[in-house]
Amino acid sequence: MDPHIAILFLVAVFAGAAALSWYNAEAQVVRRLLLAAPRVTIAAFPVGTSARVVGTVAPLAAVTTPIGGVPCVFFECVVEEYRSSGKSGTWHRVARESRSVPFLVTDGTGRALVDPTFARVSLDLDEESQSGTFDDPSPSESAFLARHRVEGATWIGTNKRLRFREFVIAAGDVVAVAGVGARELDPDAGTSGEGYRDVPMRLALRGTSEAPLLVSDRPDTLA
């Protein structure tokens, strides 16, 4: 085989492998599945089947991000270590933490309770910070590392190059949520006092370990 052709073939193989890796990344999988679900309003959500709603987050309670101290309804915090190999290097995940609480989503036609206990998420990056040789970790970063038993220094005592990234869903964010829905009594809405039939209902979206919800704040999932 001609050497030039062989080189082009190898480049194409590596490029194809990189593209496949990107395509299969969790965020991209969630995005594709979300876009495959039909978008409906909360009021018109077909109970017992899977669909997608888009609306604004209204908290019922809050958790706080471990690095930035931001109140939110969902966060994922990831710490990565930069490891060099010759003239180049790559980031490797060394710690991950996520927490969530149920929240409401409203779209002008109704309210949906979203329970993200079992959910696959694809979120835009909200906060990022780094530590390194001349940049010590902040107190909150050091506490996070200690909690996850990650050493922030090398064996000779210099700081490792670390990247702290937080992905957040907070009050007022617009999100897309897909899953199987059900109707339930809305305990937070007032009634007319005319009887059971006048008790307001809301949509409830809850996933399972076998069929998790899909949640994203990425603009291309909100269309």
Dump pLDDT digits (tens) for 79-126: 999 988 777 789 999 999 999 999 999 999 999 999 999 999 999 999
CA–CA distance, 100 with 117 (Å, rounded to integer)? 7
Structure confidence by residue, pLDDT tens digits, 14-33 = 333 443 444 458 888 999 99
pLDDT in tens, 124-159: 999 999 998 878 899 999 999 999 999 888 777 788
Tokens of 206: 């809850």
CA distances to 59, 71, 168, 205, 213 from 172, rounded to whole Å, are 9, 12, 12, 19, 20
Residue 9, both tokens: 């073939």
